[in-house]
Every structure is written in structure tokens, then in C-alpha cells.
Amino acid sequence: MYNIILINPPVYDFTYFNLWEKPLGLLNLASAFGADERCRVHFIDCVPERLKKKSEYDRGAGKLTGVRTDKPECFKTIKRNFHRYGIGIGELEERLLKIKSGIKPGEPSAVLIGAMMTYWYMGAFEAAAAARRVMPQAAVALGGIYARLAPEHAGRSGLFDYIETGFDVFAIRENILKILNVTAPGCGRSCGSLIPAYHLLEELNNSVSLATSTGCPYRCSYCASGVLYPRYSVKPAAAIVEELSYYKTALGVKNAAFYDDALLYKKEENFYRWADEWIKTGGGIDFHLPNAAHASMIDEKCAAVMKAAGFKTVRLGYEFYDKKKQDAASGGKVSGAVLKRAVANLKKEGFNAGDIGVYILFGHPACDIVETANAVDFVFDCGATPGLSLYSPIPRTPDAEAVFAQNPEILSEPLLQNKTVFFQLYSGIDYGQYYDLKTRIQRLRSAG
């Protein structure tokens, strides 16, 4: 037997609003390892907080309560409280000790830590240090978006025996098995269909997240999708319906959030196929789209299928008001006219303004506060609700590379990539202006 201990680490940030987010990568890995009968899989979710407000729990998304903690030196000028979200280090060590007590002498073991945002690395470092203290015999590996976008930074910590920069779970499993000197399981990729191992999480908060596809055909200059997933690929429709049915009947959750980057791309071949089958089963799950969908894909039929399938929360990417920037930075994925038409189609099907959120980039170097305010007004005019999407310079994206060339410290210290911080320190927009615009959005939203 060998042992795999997966850790979803604590999070350090100013706020943490969990939009149905789940440690999907780690849960998929747990599933891939779980298909090998020689493996004991353990999962430690360091952020298992149950949502306290009933309305948030019912919807499966809400604000988490952190513990106020000291700000890192580079945040000292930011006038906001900084928090740690998740179980304490003592509890994490206890849980590792308990797992360790069940491992027989000489059995290979690996601790795999997944880190999402580049600027969340502090939690991953903390978990790695705890694993090294408690289980010095285990290999400690890091994966996830941070590892893939900033492997050099992670490597400099000296905390990890291995840093995984790929995303194919079966390839990752092979890499880890090589480190442990364990032969790959005979069943390879055919070990059943891969449904994230949600049964290992102690709290689901009435929701799951899933991705029916990876990648995106666009190459927006501020987005890392093309870096993380060079090719667009999609799951078979039958597998998606099977997965959703499992969530409904076995897990009993009422909400599912799609974390696709391009859910509606080639909708005739992908989205319609599984959505039609899902509708035939009677549906029964509220669907949410925290990642923006492409407005250009939402024609009348698409809006009708989305409604019938059970979509409740729709988010669309708009980003810039200025047409030249829409074309240059977003590759023409959207225009004012396209957005207007998509919103009208959705409203015809019964979605209301509150259901349709439209993301506008805030604090992007090419965009000042006046243009952002114009975008806000335009979205209200379309009949939807604007949402400010705070720009974060993501390593390996063209826009961030330009930012790093001017301010190299942001590359060497990923904490400065934090979206709450970047605009205040580098965009020339201050917190007061941000607050005023947010307040205006709230006021107009309530008035509508």
C-alpha cells in the first residue's frame, strides 16, 4: 500500500467570498488515486467552514469568516484588515498525526498541496511546513494554479520536493508514483469515469463546482486561460449528465457552479447536448456561472436552454467600455451591441437584472476610473447588473508581463498580485474611488 494525503491549504486574504469554489483539482486527483486499490487516500480540507446565513447556505455560496491576522510588510499601507481563513496549524498537525499513525513503517507516502491564487501561497507554505514537521518521511509536492504560474517562486521556498506544473490528473498521478517508486496501476486512464471525490469533503455547503471543459478559444491579454490550458477540450455529454445526476441523488446538493472558461463555445456540439439530456432527467439543481460566459454565444435558443436547464446565476464578460480595448485586449469576444443582445435574450426567457451580472475590469492599467464608470452605466442601460472585477496581474499573461517590466517586485512577490492590493498600489485609483463606484452600483441596483 501507499498513502496520498491531499491538503487544501488555509487562505490568507483581505476577504474571502466563496462563489461555490471547491478544490476541484485536488478532488479530481483524489479520484484518480482512489481508483488504484493499493492507495490509501486522505483529504484534509483546511477551509471546511459551513456557511452561517441560511440564505447563503441555501444558495451554496457566501462570505467566510476569517481570523484577523498581521499584515505582511508589503501590505502595511493598505487600510484594510487582513485575515486567515481555515483551521489552525495545531488542528492541521493533529490531523496529519492521526493519518501518520495509520501508516505502516516503510510504506511510501506523499503529501500533495494544491494552491489556487498566486497570492494565496502563504497558506500552501504553512501546510507544507506542517507536513514536513509531522511526516518527515513523506514527499511533499505542490500543484494548482500558483504552482503552474509561479513555480520559480514556489521552488525558492525550499519547502517542496516536487512542483507539478501540469494539469492532467493521470499524468500527475504517474509523476507522483515515480517519486514514490511505485509502479503505475494497470488500469491507467480507464479506472472508471472521473468524478471529483466530493465524498472526502466534510462540508459541501449545499453545492459542488464542476468543469465540463478546459480552456478557451480566446486569448485575452489579461487572462491565464490559454497559459493554463493550451487546448480547448470538453467532456462527453453522457459523462456530464452522469456527474450531475450523482450530485443530485448521492450528494443531495441543490447547487452546481460551472468553472468552465468557455461553457458555451461550440454550443451545438457541447452545451446543448448535455443540457438537453439533463432537462430530460427532470433537472433539479440550480446552476450558477461564476466564471463569465461569452455574451456572443447567447442567442434566443441558448437563453431558452439555459433557463430550462436550471441556470439561476449568469455572469457575462464585458471588461472594457472602449471598443478599441475590447478588440485589442479581449480579441473582439464582446462589444456593446453583443452584450445588449445577450441580455435581451436572457430577459426574454425570464432572467431578471439581478440574475445577470456583467463583469467589468477594474484597475487594469489600460482603464481609468472614468471609463470604468461609463462601462457601469452602459451595463445598467442594457438591463443587467455590473460587477467590478478587480484586476490582478497574472504571471505569464501579456498584460502582467508589461506590469512586471515596470514593477519587477510584483513578479518576485506574488502577494502584490492580490486584486485588493494591486489597484491601490499601482493603478492610480484609490480605495475611495473604488468605494464610491461600488456604492453607486449598489444604489442604482436597489433603485432598479
- What residues line the site for ligand SF4 (CB under 6 A)? 216, 218-220, 223, 225, 261-262, 317, 333
- To ligand SF4, the closest distance from the beta carbon of 225 in angstroms equals 4
What DSSP line would sit under 166-188, residue for residue?
---HHHHHHHHHHHHT-PPPTTG
Using CA atoms, how far apart are residues 107 and 100, in angstroms rounded to an integer? 11
Q: Indicate the residue among 6 and 262 with the shorter CB distance to ligand SF4.
A: 262
Q: Indicate the residue among 259 and 434 with the shorter CB distance to ligand SF4.
A: 259
Q: Indicate the residue among 23 and 317 with the shorter CB distance to ligand SF4.
A: 317
What letter would DSSP give residue 113?
Answer: E
- To ligand SF4, the closest distance from the beta carbon of 263 in angstroms equals 10
For the beta carbon of residue 438, count every other beta carbon within 10 angstroms.
15
Phi, psi dihedrals of residue 354, rounded to the nearest 5° = -70, -25
Which residues lie below 8 Å from residue 99, measured CB to CB, with a gap of 6+? Answer: 3, 5, 42, 135
Q: Indicate the residue among 219 and 254 with the shorter CB distance to ligand SF4.
A: 219
Q: Indicate the residue among 219 and 438 with the shorter CB distance to ligand SF4.
A: 219
Q: Indicate the residue among 225 and 372 with the shorter CB distance to ligand SF4.
A: 225
Positive or negative CA dihedral for 103, 193, 217, 343?
Answer: negative
Using CA atoms, how far apart are residues 310 and 35, in angstroms rounded to an integer? 32
Q: How far is CA 197 from the centre of its chain?
A: 17
- To ligand SF4, the closest distance from the beta carbon of 361 in angstroms equals 9
Q: How far is CA 163 from the centre of its chain?
A: 20
Q: Indicate the residue among 33 and 265 with the shorter CB distance to ligand SF4.
A: 265
Q: Indicate the residue among 220 and 253 with the shorter CB distance to ligand SF4.
A: 220
Using CA atoms, how far apart are residues 116 and 394, in angstroms rounded to an integer? 12
- To ligand SF4, the closest distance from the beta carbon of 302 in angstroms equals 16
Q: Indicate the residue among 248 and 333 with the shorter CB distance to ligand SF4.
A: 333
C-beta of residue 334 within 8 angstroms of C-beta of residue 319: yes
- To ligand SF4, the closest distance from the beta carbon of 220 in angstroms equals 3
- To ligand SF4, the closest distance from the beta carbon of 124 in angstroms equals 24
C-beta of residue 42 within 8 angstroms of C-beta of residue 6: yes
- To ligand SF4, the closest distance from the beta carbon of 329 in angstroms equals 9
Q: Which three cell numbers stand for residue 299?
A: 442567442
- To ligand SF4, the closest distance from the beta carbon of 299 in angstroms equals 18
C-beta of residue 326 within 8 angstroms of C-beta of residue 295: no
> Judging by beta carbons within 10 Å of its beta carbon (0-12, 13-18, 19+), is residue 293 exposed, middle or buried?
buried
- To ligand SF4, the closest distance from the beta carbon of 232 in angstroms equals 10
Distances, alpha carbon 252 to alpha carbons 208, 245, 246, 399, in Å: 10, 10, 8, 42
Q: Indicate the residue among 225 and 345 with the shorter CB distance to ligand SF4.
A: 225
- To ligand SF4, the closest distance from the beta carbon of 168 in angstroms equals 19
Distances, alpha carbon 275 to alpha carbons 49, 269, 318, 370, in Å: 31, 11, 25, 40
